[in-house]
Amino acid sequence: MSVGSAMAARRILGAVLGGDAAPSAHARLTAYLDSLPAHRRREALATSILLAPVPGARNDRVPSRILRRPSHLARTLAYVAHYSDEDCRRSLGYSPTPGWTRRGPDLGNDVDVPPALRADACVIGAGAAGTIIAHHLASTGRSVILLEEGIHRQFGSDPDEMEVLGSVYRDGALQLSRDKGLSVLQACGLGGSTMVNNGICTYPGDPALSAARGNMLLRWRTGGAVIDLREFDRSRREVEDQLSVHELPSSALGRNAELLLAPGPAHEADARAQGTAAGIFRTNLVDCLGCGLCNYGCPHGRRASVVDRYLLNAVGHGLRVITRARVRSLEPLPRGVAVHATVGPDMRSCTVTASTTVVAAGAISSSALLRRSQIGGNVGTHLSHNLSFPVLARMPYPVRAHAEVPMSAYVDHGTHILESVFFPPAALAALLPEWGKAHRESMDAYDHFAGAAVLTASQATGRVLASPRRRDAVPSVLPGLGRVDRTKPRQGLRQLARHFLNQGAEYLLFPTLPWSGRARSMPEVEQVLAQLDTAAAVSLSTAHPQGGNPMNDDPRRGVVDSAFRLHGSSSIYVCDASVFPTALGLNPQLTVMALADICGNNLAERYV
């Protein structure tokens, strides 16, 4: 425990909670701050200096405009530390189904890694795409090495929310764009974000969605990214079979899902739309118990994961998995690629020389790696995002939304999709756009909250920057979000507001607008939504960055061709969400996996 982190934790808790923080909050927050990368820890320390503690009493003051961003960070950290306390959670009526502890074989390590390795193929990144590609390559009997920056995290028992944020999510879930206006949530470890998502399996052309949405793959085709639809459907079905994708059973649903699916304004189509579609999501959650902890790693082992269904099989075929491997750069060779990395906490140098290299580290990391390596044209461009805009409704009766699958029901309008959502106590406390007494009152009514969110796709105008001269530096994300991206969800937010108010909601909260207060009527909702026009008033987040290495057969417009090959290279391939020309506006998990299955099959055929 460092002295600096301990002092910062004490000041942050004092500024937000006064003397009322849970007994375990200080130790928990200190450990979390110690786990952060240096640049994020410095930011937290600076925040603690800016905010003055209020001894002996909770701070009920809404901070001045100049302190809003550091105050928002401080309240997030303080509330997560406080409401991760077991006694505190129990006082809210939160009692998740007890988890179990399963300990399987560790599928990767950083022990005894020599400074130089050779392989037929090297895959960088063990997320949704990398695991499937490595599986196909290893099945040919060739030598394959998989490099992953994180570790093999084996989930079990009841997770401590703050500990998971610090150990699983990149930058402790504090990864921000350069302008601090966009929070980017990404997991790090074997399985990537697929291990801590809601398991949603939608895809372009999904017949369960609104006809107004169309098929994004057809739009990509007209722009130069030619994905064979029959091949995509074959691979999608293969992935669905492997991951046991199916519609959630009614036993996993609860009152929160029922509220969204009940007839009302949420289902009313815009006059220009072609109708809506509503239903229950298809997921890769098997016999789900509805504990609500999907985003912290299923403590019951009910997720059919790529680690269990693909990676374990690949290791059996001889795949070597090296964890804690941070790839610095790629060096093209006359016959292959040299992958330069550091391995382990002591950052030992290691170079993997491979005939074929597949970059599958995700939209931001893959783009940053290619930019650091000064390989390819147009790298880091056309970055886009799925943006989520939640609404929380305080109902006059218990909803117990935490005791069901947190994201299960949807209403698709084509231009946007409405999803039922909810959160464990610490996450909800961090989201509530309130301060002091009002925040305390809302948390005391934890059981009475319902939640839903509007999901939209941003424009593909963002960028990822990384310097070849500073290969240890954190990549910069320029989200490229404009007024149209902030105001696009307005119609969906109105629909949800009317929907919840018609069902008796006492008041509504809009976490995207952290200083908006409570809205009890549609006129007050309109006053809140007017703040979407002001960038400084909006706090945006994404768990689905896409693009950065857009697919296009024209090398003047894209980074990879329709075969996932980097333009100008015969040895480097890129396959993950970074190749998306535009954002889907849907959960991209299944689409990424289907594309990886196509890429992996095609590469494997070269070795057979």
Distance (Å, whole) CA 452 – CA 388? 10
> Token pair 């669905």 is at which residue?
240
- Name the band, by pLDDT with cuts 50, 70 and 90, for residue 54: very low
| Residue 62 clears pLDDT 60, i.e. is over it | no
Q: What is the pLDDT of residues 463-513, one digit of tens each?
A: 999 877 665 556 778 888 888 888 889 999 999 999 999 999 999 999 888
Nearest to 86 by CA among 28, 4, 167: 28
Q: What is the pLDDT of residue 76?
A: 87
End-to-end CA distance of the chain: 53
CA distance 412 to 208: 9
| Mean pLDDT on 114-125 | 97
**Is the separation of the CB atoms in 231 and 599 below 8 Å?**
no
pLDDT, residue 58, reads 46
Q: Quick one: what percent of the chain has pLDDT higher than 90? A: 64
Residue 270: both structure tokens together: 């815009």
Which one, of 281, 328, 294, 597, lies nearest residue 466 by Cα?
328
In whole angstroms, give the CA distance from residue 368 to residue 375: 11
292 backbone φψ class: left, alpha, beta (φ>0; ψ -120 to 50) = left
For residue 70, what pLDDT band results from cuts at 50, 70 and 90?
A: confident
The first and second tokens of residue 450, run together, are 């319902």
Q: What is the pLDDT of residue 68?
A: 60
Tokens of 135: 């599986």
How large is the average pLDDT for residues 373-388? 94
Express as a percent the part of the chain with pLDDT over 70: 93
| 470 or 137, higher pLDDT | 137
pLDDT in tens, 19-42: 789 999 999 999 999 988 888 888
**Residues with Cβ within 8 Å of residue 230, at least 6 apart in sequence:** none
Instruction: Report pLDDT for 154.
Output: 79
Measured CA to CA, the distance from residue 394 to residue 505 in angstroms comes to 6
In angstroms, the CA 505 to CA 392 distance is: 10
Question: Of 208, 545, 149, 520, which is closest to residue 382 (Cα–Cα)?
Answer: 545
Predicted local confidence at residue 172, as pLDDT:
87
- Using pLDDT thresholds of 50, 70 and 90, give the confidence band for residue 55: very low
Q: What angle do CA 429, 492, 511 make, to 5 degrees?
A: 15
Average the pLDDT over each of 187-201, 418-432, 531-545 and give the range with the smallest value: 531-545
**Partners of residue 340 on adjacent β-strands:** 329, 351
Note whether 540 and 514 are within 8 A (CB). Answer: no
Tens-digit pLDDT profile for residues 196-214: 999 999 999 999 999 989 9
Mean pLDDT of the chain: 89
Residue pLDDT, tens place only, 93-113: 887 766 555 556 778 888 899
Tell me: pLDDT of 82 over 80: yes
Which residues contact residue 598 at a Cβ distance below 8 angstroms, ignoring those fewer than 6 apart? 227, 228, 231, 232, 235
The arithmetic mean of pLDDT across residues 5-15, rounded, is 88
Query: Is pLDDT of 230 > 90?
Result: yes
Whether the predicted pLDDT of 186 surpasses 60: yes
Burial of residue 50, with CB atoms counted within 10 A of its CB: 0-12 exposed, 13-18 middle, 19 or more buried: middle
CB distance 405 to 300 below 8 Å: no
Residue 72 above 80 pLDDT? no
Q: Identify each DSSP E strand in 533-582 by its residue range.
A: 540-542, 544-548, 572-574
